[in-house]
A and B are shown apart, each in its own frame.
Chain A
Amino acid sequence: MRLSFLSPSRCEQGTIASPLRRALDTVSDTEGRKEQASGAELVIQHLVRDLSLRGIVEIRGDLDLVPPSAGEGLVRLSPRRGYAFTDDDPADVAERLRARGVLAYDATGALAGIAIASEQVMRRLTDLDLERLPTAGPFAHVTAIVRRDEAGWFEVYVQQELGHYVAEAIVDALAGLDMPPGLTPEAGA
């Protein structure tokens, strides 16, 4: 397949890792220590979730040609540029979209994603209007795509190489709010 070197999904199983792994490892460690220290049943507040390996496809062309199907979300950056968020294999989705008359690229590895439960954490890091999502704009001094999922979590996507920095900023903001940061069990790769 052409441009397959863009697709983490085309790598052999067990070879890929999230760019946020180390930043969020400290969160897991913190939780572990707390659990041991208290000796009691721990109520983990799942405040952050790693979305980095979630399928994302960058689309160039007439976005009206490719309305999102089930399990997909489309964020329009302009009439001819957008990101499709998909639960399917993004490389396959990119091929499908190309067949429908647009250019599409697997952008899964280009963006690091983190889901945040707390609106207050979001407010500590961005002045975007959280009532008007999805949108793109500044988050912790870098440009991010911000959307909200059906459960109300805020999803923040930034350039992969800035992912670790942003994750650290989020964990720091949680600490500032005295919220015990915790990962959901399925988080991390």
Chain B
Amino acid sequence: MRLEPQQRERIDRSRPVSFTFAGWKVTGFEGDTLGSAAFAAGKRVFSRSFKYHRPRGLLCCSGHCPNCLMTVDGVPNVRVCTEPIREGAVVRGQNVRWSLDLDFMSVTDKIGGPFTPVGFYYRTFIRPRRLWPLYEKFLRGAAGLGKLDEHAGHSRRYDVEHRRARVLVVGGGQAGRAAALAAATTGPGVVLVDEDARHGSLRLEGVEVLAPARALGIWEGGLVPVDAGTLLYRFRAERIIVATGATEQPLVFPGNDLVGVMLPDGARRLVRDYSVKPGNRAVVLASDDAGLEIADDLREAGIAVPRVLDLREVRPRELAAQGRKGRVRRLVVDDESIDCDLLVASAGSQPAYSLLAQAGARVEFDPELGVFVPTDLPRGVEAVGSVTGEGLGEVAPEPDYRGGGKCFVCVCEDVTTKDLKRAIAEGFDSIELAKRYTTTTMGPCQGKLCHLPSIRLYAQENRMYESAIGTTTARPPWAPVELGLLAGRELTPTRLTSIHWRHVEAGATIQWAGPWKRPYAYGDKPDDEVRAVHESLGIIDVSTLGKLVVEGPDAVALLERLYPNRFGDMKPGRIRYGVLTSDGGRIMDDGTIARLAGDIFYVTTTSTGADAVTAWFEWWNAAWGYEAEIVSVTGAIAAVNLAGPRSRDALQRLTEADVSAEGFKYLDAQEIEVAGIPTLALRIGFVGELGYELHFPSAAGEFLWDRLVAEGARPFGLEPQRVLRLEKGHVIDGQDTDSESNLYSSGMSWLPKLDKDDFVGKYALEHFARREETERLVGFTMEDDYLPAEGAQVVIEGRPAGRVTSARRSEAVGAVIGLAWVAADRAESGTRVEIRIDRLLRGARVMHGAFFDAAGERMRG
């Protein structure tokens, strides 16, 4: 029911707004919240409690308590008391079986109490253990909060915005506003944030005001995340002023959760802000002067207030609210019964110090005020206003009052005084332990309304002072926050070559390859692409290879110490294969090294190893103090491998350089111009056919690709490349090798030059050279046409003896071929092994060297 227009009402009565509340159409006004409009329309039950499914109504109207958590437009756990009204919104109850007014699960409140004491799920449902999943499912269904809409996250956009502030003021009350204005006089960069939407229209000279916006915590370096709905501000502030005020505390007495029991500020907001009559007949229970003031406010609004009890003066033996159907009907004080439909009760106010405590402030009990106050603030963090305890009067309510009915300390988790007393009796005498056992302070209010009452009760039961009990640890977030907001936008850094879109346009199947997106194949027949390379001309985008320019007077010395083989004797214009080994002599990465000039080398690495190799080079270069520069040009350079018997002819048509067998020999490197593009051409062949790796400016990637394709080169993807390299027995580091593989066990004993001066891994390689390896990487050919999975078990005489690392069906070889680790004594060429495929053992023969063109004539031709 609406009151006559109030002096400071926020609603615009000329602008009605309609929405659906629990299936009912409700009309409020612009300026209302969903909660105030529903209350004005006569709705009193907004939620059902977490455990007992007791009806709950508006309590604080400040967005602190859990009583108005509802699902709004599919988003669960929205506090409708602060959620602005919007046309067409659909508001539904949650944790309800049937309706808000009639919840079948409320039977747990009637009969479940004795059977569901605190921690009952740890004890009652512990046996038999195998049924726990069943119990868990039931308990989760019976209790809890709203259900997440699996699809809602995709329809809402969340953003993160990084901000910097010289001064960040948290809280827009009197003290916060004064602090912000004072800070603004000393310079720009002052921002004030407040969770109350009303402050959105606040105008303070020199101050940027953000509202509604709630600070979630204070981290090191002045980091303050601020929740502004679907936008998360990440503030870095030089100075943080906390002016979060104080939070009214609920009075702990039997029936204190009945619908119609409200905190003074909640009732005041309904009257002043929304001109809503919170009740017809009110009783006020006050623990401080502020609590008494509400009586005058209610009377001014025309509400009968037959009784006001100042609990500082009156110490009743018995105090209980009684009701019907969950709604308050009367207050019983000792032997007196007072009829009412509104019970405004408060146990005073507690400074809202959580942000300060998170920042590192100490929190101490102030015996004069009867509340906890922050002290010893960390550097850069200040507190002003009632969060310091300033302006608060002494309060000393009883920790609990006797009477009939449940007496709640924590309305979020349905924890009663009886529960806490039982926990203490069971030995949970530390407030931190009790928190975990009873879950008090762990609900949606994050302790705002239950922390102080639970400590007061603990002090009483343990006959200790509150100061000795202490507080629980304050952890962020200070208020519940949507996970989507913390996550922000989904950003997945993706590396694309400059030719990527040509692959997409050609219909390639694109797959992740480390941080890159690469074509798997250009159709559903990768074998056709393999055949094109063998018989004609193929082209593959290898721009993903890591590429380094190593230059300087000590470039040779650096490479000599990084690699196990020699580079000092290389002539300019020649290429050599290199394998990097770790200090332990294990294989790290491989690639080619081309000497472009006396002190300039061009080094390629594997696609996924580029960053690690660059860091490895730079680290050793710095450690040895060499005068050599390592410049990563991975992205600057596009690279393609033009391979196949027709590659020479095709390339010759696009360049004036001599690329004949004599003019451009195998393992030559030449800087030439191809179709008007300056190119470093490398005569190497990972895929085993005559081929040229062309490295050129990435900006010309699409152009040169198009020209080469126009010359008849058929694009091939990663899958055909794997077949082709396997036919040559070429190893892929990381796939065929692992962190234990070394050059000797991997069949590359020809590579290390142990007579060189010291190099990385030399000591270990000398050791490997002397010892007998226990297993070796070998090739194999299947006896039949069965294709083993990569990782398949190799079996010798019925016992596991190795694993397959690569296997493909090769049309050129006419068999299924692969690489596998096998026991060293079975690594002889021709040895028969068995490989487990679909639980059956299939025969295979060990083979050394290339499966195809073993002499390498095609590649070197």
Q: Which residue of A lies closest to B674 (CB)?
A: A5
Return the CB mask of A11-36 against B: 1 if under 8 Å, else 0: 11001111100100000000000000
B189 to chain A, nearest CB (A): 10
Within the complex, the shortest CB–CB distance from A121 to chain B, in Å, comes to 10
Whether A62 sits at the interface, judged by CB under 8 Å, is: no
A109 x B600 contact (CB < 8 A): no
Q: Are B633 and A110 in contact, CB atoms less than 8 angstroms apart?
A: yes
Contact: B699 with A19, CB < 8 Å?
yes
- Give CA–CA (A172, B489) in the complex, Å: 9
Partner of B635, one of A60, A110, A127, A141: A110
Question: A5-B680, A15-B676 known; A110 and B636 CB under 8 Å?
Answer: yes
Q: Are B493 and A142 neighbours in the complex by a CB distance under 8 Å?
A: yes
Is A111's CB within 8 Å of the partner chain B? yes
Determine the chain B residues whose CB is within 8 A of the CB of A142 once the complex forms. 493
Cβ–Cβ contact B678 & A5, under 8 A: yes
B848 at the interface (CB under 8 A from A): no
Whole-angstrom distance between the Cβ of B742 and the nearest chain A Cβ: 32
Instruction: Give Cα A109 to B234, complex, Å.
Output: 34
CB of A145 within 8 Å of the partner chain: no
Supposing A11-B678, A16-B697, A109-B699 touch, asked if A6 and B496 sit within 8 A by C-beta, the answer is no
Closest to A15 in B: B703
Q: Would you give the 0/1 interface string for B140-173, flagging 1 where the beta carbon is closer than 8 Å to chain A?
A: 0000000000000000010111111000000000
Contact, CB under 8 Å: A5 / B695:
yes
Asked if residues B491 and A141 are in contact (CB atoms below 8 Å), the reply is yes
Q: Is the Cβ of B629 less than 8 Å from the Cβ of A103?
A: yes
Cβ of B631 under 8 Å from chain A: yes
Q: Name the CB-closest residue of B to A176.
A: B159
Chain B: minimal CB distance from A135 (Å): 13
A-B contact pairs, 20 of them (CB 8 A): A2-B596, A3-B549, A5-B637, A5-B678, A8-B699, A11-B678, A12-B675, A15-B677, A16-B697, A16-B699, A22-B501, A109-B697, A110-B632, A110-B633, A127-B234, A127-B236, A160-B636, A161-B498, A164-B494, A189-B699
Q: Does B318 contact A (CB under 8 A)?
A: no
A3 near B636 (CB under 8 angstroms)? Answer: no
Q: Does B570 have its Cβ within 8 Å of any Cβ on chain A?
A: no
| 19 extra interface residue pairs, beta carbon distance < 8 Å, beyond A12-B676, A17-B498, A52-B699 | A11-B676, A15-B676, A15-B700, A19-B699, A53-B699, A60-B631, A103-B551, A108-B699, A109-B697, A109-B699, A110-B633, A111-B635, A123-B161, A124-B160, A127-B234, A161-B495, A161-B634, A165-B496, A176-B157
Q: How far is the CA of A2 from the CA of B572 in the complex (A)?
A: 12
Does A3 lie within 8 Å of B635, measured CB to CB?
Answer: no
- Size of interface on A: residues with Cβ below 8 Å to B: 52
B697 contacts A7, C-beta separation under 8 Å: yes
Cβ of B103 < 8 Å from any Cβ of A? no
* Chain B residues within CB distance 8 Å of chain A: 157, 159-164, 234, 236, 489, 491-498, 500-501, 516, 543, 549, 551-552, 596-597, 600, 629, 631-637, 671, 675-680, 695-704
Enumerate chain B residues within 8 angstroms of A106, measured Cβ to Cβ: 636
A131 close to B (CB within 8 Å): yes
Q: Report chain B residues within 8 Å CB of A160.
A: 498, 635-636, 698
CA distance A173 to B501 in the complex (A): 23
Are A60 and B678 neighbours in the complex by a CB distance under 8 Å?
no
B671 contacts A5, C-beta separation under 8 Å: yes
Task: Give Cα A7 to B629, complex, Å.
Answer: 19
Does the CB pair A17–B699 fall under 8 Å? yes
Residues of B within 8 A of A169 (CB): 489, 491
A140 to B702, CA, bound (A): 26
B414 to chain A minimum Cβ distance, whole angstroms, is 40
Contact of A162 among B236, B495, B629, B631 (CB under 8 A): B495
A85 CB-CB contact with B under 8 Å? no
How many angstroms from the CA of A14 to the CA of B636 in the assembled complex?
18
Give bound CA distance, A15 to B677, whole Å. Answer: 8
| B631/A58 in contact, CB under 8 A | yes
- Min distance, Cβ A97 to any Cβ of chain B, angstroms: 13
Complex Cα spacing A3 to B671, Å: 8
Question: For the complex, is A129 an interface residue (Cβ under 8 Å from B)?
Answer: yes
Q: Are B159 and A12 in contact (CB under 8 A)?
A: no
Known: A2-B600, A123-B163, A126-B162. A8 touches B549 (CB 8 A): no
Chain B residues closer than 8 Å to A129, beta-carbon distance: 164, 236
- Closest chain-A Cβ to B663's Cβ sits at a distance in Å of 19
Known A11-B678, A109-B637: A131·B159 in contact at CB below 8 Å: no
- Is the beta-carbon distance between A5 and B679 smaller than 8 angstroms? yes
A-B pairs, 8 with minimum CB distance: A12-B676, A110-B636, A160-B635, A16-B699, A127-B162, A109-B636, A8-B699, A4-B678
**Shortest beta-carbon distance, B503 to chain A, in Å?**
13
Q: Is A45 an interface residue (CB 8 A)?
A: no
Contact A124/B498 with A5-B696, A109-B698 known, Cβ cut-off 8 Å: no
